[in-house]
Chain A
Amino acid sequence: MWLLAGRGPRCGRALVPWASGAACLGLPWLRCPATRGSTAEPWAPARLYGSGDRKEKIDMSRFPAENIRNFSVIAHVDHGKSTLADRLLELTGTIDKTKNNKQVLDKLQVERERGITVKAQTASLFYNCEGKQYLLNLIDTPGHVDFSYEVSRSLSACQGVLLVVDANEGIQAQTVANFFLAFEAQLSVIPVINKIDLKNADPERVEKQIEKAFDIPSDECIKISAKLGTNVESVLQAVIERIPPPQGHCKNPLRALVFDSTFDQYRGVIANIALFDGVVSKGDKIVSAHTQKIYEVNEVGILNPNEQPTDKLYAGQVGYLIAGMKDVTEAQIGDTLYLHKQPVEPLPGFKSAKPMVFAGMYPIDQSEYNNLKSAIEKLTLNDSSVTVYRDSSLALGAGWRLGFLGLLHMEVFNQRLEQEYNASVILTTPTVPYKAVLSSAKLIKEYREKEITIINPAQFPEKSKVTEYLEPVVLGTVITPDEYTGKIMMLCQARRGVQKNMMYIDQHRVMLKYLFPLNEIVVDFYDSLKSLSSGYASFDYEDAGYQTAELVKMDILLNGNIVEELVTVVHKDKAHSVGKVICERLKDSLPRQLFEIAIQAAIGSKIIARETVKAYRKNVLAKCYGGDITRKMKLLKRQAEGKKKLRKVGNIEVPKDAFIKVLKTQPDK
């Protein structure tokens, strides 16, 4: 169901209640078909509401390319992107105005909980302006740095963006990153200063920042309060006026870009597509340019925001397509679809997502392996940016090594596993993909290449067999109030960062650019930054390739025996501190045994850190009389049972917990 509305001095209001009982049931925030009193007036021929036939469709041919605007909303986290989207949906009647419209496009539980957007969602809005019916395709995007791939994917289907900036916080690191993504894609940028209702809002200062950082004249900024709906109407106006319509022609053969895909248990892959040329309709035979597989289109439609079948989709439009694809890999992001026997030049493909962070994932109990496997498979059906390799650990059993785009991506993935698939997992400390340039002819032959990527520390080649090691680096942007600059620069230096640039974006805010080894920022950099700037500094990064690094492999020994799962690759300068931390964590989590345990961190034969777990001197229940026996036996048996699952390193029994505590990502501070 959708309601079409236009408002404003130049826009006649038009509301078209369009019925879909199913949608009403499924989407409680949507108003069920009902007239809106005297303001409701039928629109065009599609007065369909109340019809018994739920399958009636919108005639998409009514929207020629010039009446279409494809745009996206980009912003730093919490700057109000999803709230603005809610207002736009309300204003165009796509959803009803109720107080419950909170981040309508954030469908995942994790998105609502964290106030972030993970999966970009698309919604088609119908807007009547100056007598013309416009089709506005809003593509909501994730805000976080990890998901910049989602952003860029969304942007390729757009001609313009709304760049939302908080009137209080001003430009943040991610605002900068997102702006440049849009700028590089040559999209029209409409700066929107949000939250002007806040007490500390200073839209004028933000206008100046935008002018200074992005070179956009301050009079182009639209000042709104998405929360209260203030001035949101003018955003729609700007979208129509300032964003160019998509190019493309219905008469050309079909050329559709897959810019996202989701997986539905019952219907298979739902591909989100942007039509650059041509028309697609149900029954068409289409071909994937990437796989050359042929599919028959079962369903096409628009998203508003739920799937709404239509008869056809035309050039310039954005919608979805279901064509019997069983796997999201069949609907690869960036792939081009064309009609069978009418091949076209594929659209420039997207760079496929490159994992930046790797972590081991294991079921808490091995009996859960298969369940977890299927959960991961299902989740990766929806998130093709996660790479999955099978892996196994002596302590943790069979599992996987997963590649993520970043830490938040990893956390979100984990949280979705828990929430949507009720799977509890052990996630090991993330590592980054190092590289080694091999010098040993034997190894080169073995790997069939000179430069290898090391995902698992166990595969780390010896120094004697390599010319050099490489580590991934990123260009980080930090924006902070200037009083924290000193502390932040010290933090960056401690993380082996190299300063590249520093500029004031207004009188009190500084933008710092640093080149960081990815490894240094991947675990807790963001938390440290937040805590030493009282939460005011923001951070974002972009991939900056690889640099030579002095890497070493560090072993952890228990009474002289190497613990294979704790082998770590570290930078030489960090080996001591990292080794110390691991030893300390192990010491805290290793239960005492009947003999002393030496925990050592070693590089080659050199011990760089050591901790000792003393032997048990007393471990016996003091009082054990009649009433204590049952309880004691129960406890002993439970412990004995647990002991069976212990991993033995030499003669030392190591509980899984101990590994988990060492390997696991430490909780946020």
Chain B
Amino acid sequence: MGHGTHRVLKGTDGVCPTPAPEEDRQEVAVRTPVSSRWRRRPEAPGSPGTSSSKGRCPRVTQPFLLPLSALVAHLARLAELFVSWARLGLGFLLAAPNAMTLPRFRPRGWVAATKAAQRRHQAEAAGGPRGPAPRSQRAALYVHVSVGGGARGTRPWRSRAQVAAYDPVNSRVVFSRPQMSGRTARSAAVTATSTSTSPAAWTRRRSGAVWVESVFFGGGTPSLASPHTVAAVLEAVAQATHLPTDAEVTLEANPTSSPGTRLAAFGTAGVNRLSIGLQSLDDAELRLLGRTHSASDALRTLAEARHLFPGRVSVDLMLGLPAQQVGPWLGQLQELLCHCDDHISLYQLSLERGTALFAQVHQGALPAPDPELAAEMYQKGRAVLQEAGFRQYEVSNFARKGALSTHNWNYWQCGQYLGVGPGAHGRFLPQGTRGHTREARIQTLEPDNWMKEVKLFGHGTRKRVPLGELELLEEVLAMGLRTDLGITHQHWEEFEPQLTLWDVFGTSKEVKELLEQGLLLLDHRGLRCSWEGLAVLDSLLLTLLPQLQEAWQQRTRALVPGG
């Protein structure tokens, strides 16, 4: 292990100017680049949003860019390290037993604090807990962990093809989403700049700092990465932002790659929620999906996870696989109910071009999945879960005892989020932009290029698209209706104070038809799908979105004099 680490450190020499005692190197290696970066360029760490050095924003004129860009750059940098380790030092992650027990890792700062604070996170009735910070300052952070790699010929991780058997974007690594925005953050940034204190310290202390309410390590198999990395990322997040000690920190875990000792190490590192990619309890189906674990592996991992993270373990189950039948699938669900914790996701397989499964179906080696059967599985599955006390709080997500995913809830509520890692998406209000225009950002997809860009520019943002007001509302609509709460009047008003839900949808004949068909509900609470409607939401949206556009345009016309 020492060797592997050492080599990595050499590789990132520039950020580790003084040789640290070996036991400290990992931490140092992770933290130093960040802090040194902050030290070197306190005023402007470069715009994280520009996709090349040419596009950098003017520095001094926009000091308020600081907190956000700092965070992104910071995380990008971390993620870069993460990938480097993945490439070079995998052996130590998987093989060295002391790596798993973290004998020399000294939890510091945030991690230590969280350990004490770790407790069951009971979500509020509304679904998502709300931090003390204003909405505009809250964000979720998604960390996409790339597991591509294997450039040296040794592939300690599964080949990309296996990983990607059903998910074409599953070969990357990402972080979770922070919500941040608004004038408070901006003025805080200005203040911070003027006081010219250490930016890292600044962000944590000032009330205007971003509240990262949840962190999600996703991308398929981040559990293959080192717990140290996770800890270091969290530490860095905590330095750059306000990361409450009870923030939800989810790690996607894969059954085979998650022996109990490793899971425990992740817990020590600050992870407090696990999402296990179980997918099926049928070995043949698992093989079909390109999984290397067996059903018994999955159940074992699940048991260990529940032991370590009681009440905070999620499992997913796929439905609608080629040749899958309703009866046996329901059997799997029943079996899963005997073993699972308080959160289950049911996902219908969608065959995506470019995956092994797609090719097999296309070539006729496998039957095409039957949408009728999938629909039946879904409907029956929903009923079974409801029976078992689960609340379907979103199209594919079910929780009991309030064990909702805070992180994902934020997506459906159109909260802000940051994405770090190859291909990760973010949506937030960048500081310094005029008005309240959110930006949709996408990081460079291909891990190698992503790393190169992070090295060169300090960030991996490939694309920034300003999200118009209407576009944001469309997302509020499309995402909000995925939840059982739908869109409350209050929620809608946060985004659109002028035009109420009644204004938009109350008079439409087509919407009325949907209401009459019992697919949609519009009442004093707000707009939401019925039980039947939720299953066909995408069809409903084809009526609702144009209606929203029309109402929006009418209002815009009314506002523009002579328009």
Proximity string of chain B (363-391) to chain A, C-beta cutoff 8 Å, 1 when within and 0 when not: 00000000110111011000000000000
- With A617-B536, A624-B479: A637-B545 Cβ-Cβ less than 8 Å: yes
Nearest CB of chain A from residue B471's CB, rounded to whole Å: 7
- With A627-B424, A632-B478: A620-B545 Cβ-Cβ less than 8 Å: no
C-alpha gap A640/B542 in the complex (Å): 5
Contact across chains for B537 and A633 when beta carbons are under 8 A apart: no
Indicate if A281 sits at the interface (CB-CB under 8 A): no
Nearest CB of chain B from residue A635's CB, rounded to whole Å: 9
Indicate if B87 sits at the interface (CB-CB under 8 A): no
Contacts of B350 in A (CB 8 A): 621-623
Contact across chains for A629 and B372 when beta carbons are under 8 A apart: no
Contacts of A618 in B (CB 8 A): 348, 371, 374-375, 378-379, 535-536
**Those 5 A-B pairs whose CB atoms lie nearest each other, nearest first:** A617-B375, A618-B375, A620-B537, A622-B348, A627-B425
Q: Which A-chain residue is minimally distant from B349 (CB atoms)?
A: A622
Contact across chains for B546 and A643 when beta carbons are under 8 A apart: yes
Interface residues of A in 589-638 (CB under 8 A from B): 593-595, 614, 616-627, 629-630, 632-633, 636-637
Q: Which B-chain residue is minimally distant from A641 (CB atoms)?
A: B546
Contact across chains for B347 and A620 when beta carbons are under 8 A apart: no
C-alpha gap A629/B542 in the complex (Å): 16
Contact across chains for B426 and A626 when beta carbons are under 8 A apart: yes
Proximity string of chain B (466-488) to chain A, C-beta cutoff 8 Å, 1 when within and 0 when not: 00000100110011001000000
C-alpha gap A614/B373 in the complex (Å): 13
Indicate if A644 sits at the interface (CB-CB under 8 A): yes
For this complex, 7 residue pairs linking A to B, each with C-beta atoms less than 8 Å apart, are: A620-B536, A620-B537, A621-B395, A622-B349, A622-B395, A627-B423, A640-B546
C-alpha gap A421/B408 in the complex (Å): 52
Contact across chains for A624 and B425 when beta carbons are under 8 A apart: no
Q: Which of A594, A622, A632, A636 touches B536 (beta carbons < 8 Å)?
A: A594
Q: Which of A623, A626, A633 touches B177 (beta carbons < 8 Å)?
A: A626
- With A594-B517, A617-B375, A622-B350: A627-B174 Cβ-Cβ less than 8 Å: yes
Q: Which of B349, B376, B427, B535 touches A619 (beta carbons < 8 Å)?
A: B535
Indicate if A464 sits at the interface (CB-CB under 8 A): no
Q: Which A-chain residue is minimally distant from B167 (CB atoms)?
A: A623
Contact across chains for A636 and B542 when beta carbons are under 8 A apart: yes
Nearest CB of chain B from residue A362's CB, rounded to whole Å: 25
Indicate if B169 sits at the interface (CB-CB under 8 A): yes
Nearest CB of chain A from residue B182's CB, rounded to whole Å: 20
Contacts of B513 in A (CB 8 A): 651
Indicate if B507 sits at the interface (CB-CB under 8 A): no
Indicate if B82 sits at the interface (CB-CB under 8 A): no
Nearest CB of chain A from residue B527's CB, rounded to whole Å: 16
Interface centre among A618, A625, A633 (most CB of B within 10 A): A618
C-alpha gap A633/B513 in the complex (Å): 23
Nearest CB of chain A from residue B163's CB, rounded to whole Å: 16
Proximity string of chain B (520-547) to chain A, C-beta cutoff 8 Å, 1 when within and 0 when not: 0000000000000011111111100110
Contact across chains for A620 and B395 when beta carbons are under 8 A apart: yes
Nearest CB of chain B from residue A469's CB, rounded to whole Å: 42
Contact across chains for B536 and A629 when beta carbons are under 8 A apart: no
Nearest CB of chain B from residue A615's CB, rounded to whole Å: 9
Contact across chains for B539 and A623 when beta carbons are under 8 A apart: no
C-alpha gap A593/B540 in the complex (Å): 10
Q: A594-B514, A629-B411, A643-B546 are in contact. List 11 more A-B contacts (CB 8 A).
A: A618-B375, A618-B535, A620-B534, A622-B348, A624-B412, A627-B142, A629-B425, A629-B427, A629-B479, A637-B545, A640-B541
Nearest CB of chain A from residue B87's CB, rounded to whole Å: 23
C-alpha gap A128/B54 in the complex (Å): 76
**How many interface residues does chain B have, given as a range?**
35 or more
Contacts of B482 in A (CB 8 A): 620, 624
Interface centre among B419, B426, B537 (most CB of A within 10 A): B537
Contact across chains for A619 and B442 when beta carbons are under 8 A apart: no
C-alpha gap A347/B348 in the complex (Å): 76
C-alpha gap A594/B419 in the complex (Å): 36
Q: For the complex, would chain A's binding face be called helix, strand, loop or mixed by DSSP majority?
A: loop
Contact across chains for B538 and A621 when beta carbons are under 8 A apart: yes
Nearest CB of chain A from residue B213's CB, rounded to whole Å: 14
C-alpha gap A637/B542 in the complex (Å): 8
Contacts of B478 in A (CB 8 A): 632-633, 636
Nearest CB of chain A from residue B180's CB, rounded to whole Å: 15
Contact across chains for B475 and A633 when beta carbons are under 8 A apart: yes
Proximity string of chain B (412-437) to chain A, C-beta cutoff 8 Å, 1 when within and 0 when not: 10000101000111110000000000
Contacts of A636 in B (CB 8 A): 478, 538, 541-542, 545
Nearest CB of chain B from residue A44's CB, rounded to whole Å: 70
Nearest CB of chain B from residue A260's CB, rounded to whole Å: 50
Q: Which B-chain residue is minimally distant from A615 (CB atoms)?
A: B536
Interface residues of A in 244-265 (CB under 8 A from B): none
C-alpha gap A125/B375 in the complex (Å): 74
Nearest CB of chain A from residue B398's CB, rounded to whole Å: 13
Contact across chains for B348 and A617 when beta carbons are under 8 A apart: no
Nearest CB of chain A from residue B218's CB, rounded to whole Å: 8
Indicate if A342 sits at the interface (CB-CB under 8 A): no
Nearest CB of chain B from residue A275's CB, rounded to whole Å: 64
Contacts of B425 in A (CB 8 A): 626-627, 629-630
Q: Which of B395, B424, B475, B540 touches A629 (beta carbons < 8 Å)?
A: B475
Contacts of A637 in B (CB 8 A): 474, 545
Contacts of B34 in A (CB 8 A): none
Nearest CB of chain B from residue A192's CB, rounded to whole Å: 50
Interface residues of B in 297-332 (CB under 8 A from A): none
Indicate if A639 sits at the interface (CB-CB under 8 A): yes
Nearest CB of chain A from residue B437's CB, rounded to whole Å: 16
Contacts of B376 in A (CB 8 A): 617
Contacts of B379 in A (CB 8 A): 617-618
Q: Which A-chain residue is minimally distant from B514 (CB atoms)?
A: A594
Indicate if B440 sits at the interface (CB-CB under 8 A): yes
C-alpha gap A113/B542 in the complex (Å): 44
Q: Which B-chain residue is minimally distant from A618 (CB atoms)?
A: B375
Nearest CB of chain A from residue B401's CB, rounded to whole Å: 22
Q: Which of A593, A594, A644 touches B546 (beta carbons < 8 Å)?
A: A644
C-alpha gap A630/B142 in the complex (Å): 16
Contacts of B411 in A (CB 8 A): 624-626, 629
C-alpha gap A627/B177 in the complex (Å): 11
- With A629-B427, A633-B475: A619-B539 Cβ-Cβ less than 8 Å: yes
Contacts of B346 in A (CB 8 A): 622
Q: Which A-chain residue is minimally distant from B547 (CB atoms)?
A: A640
Contacts of A651 in B (CB 8 A): 513
Q: Which A-chain residue is minimally distant from B410 (CB atoms)?
A: A626
Nearest CB of chain A from residue B395's CB, rounded to whole Å: 5
Interface centre among B474, B536, B546 (most CB of A within 10 A): B536
Indicate if B281 sits at the interface (CB-CB under 8 A): no
Contact across chains for A640 and B545 when beta carbons are under 8 A apart: yes
C-alpha gap A620/B375 in the complex (Å): 10
Interface centre among B349, B372, B534, B541 (most CB of A within 10 A): B541
Q: Which of A594, A617, A619 touches B372 (beta carbons < 8 Å)?
A: A617
Nearest CB of chain A from residue B84's CB, rounded to whole Å: 23
- With A614-B372, A618-B536: A626-B471 Cβ-Cβ less than 8 Å: no
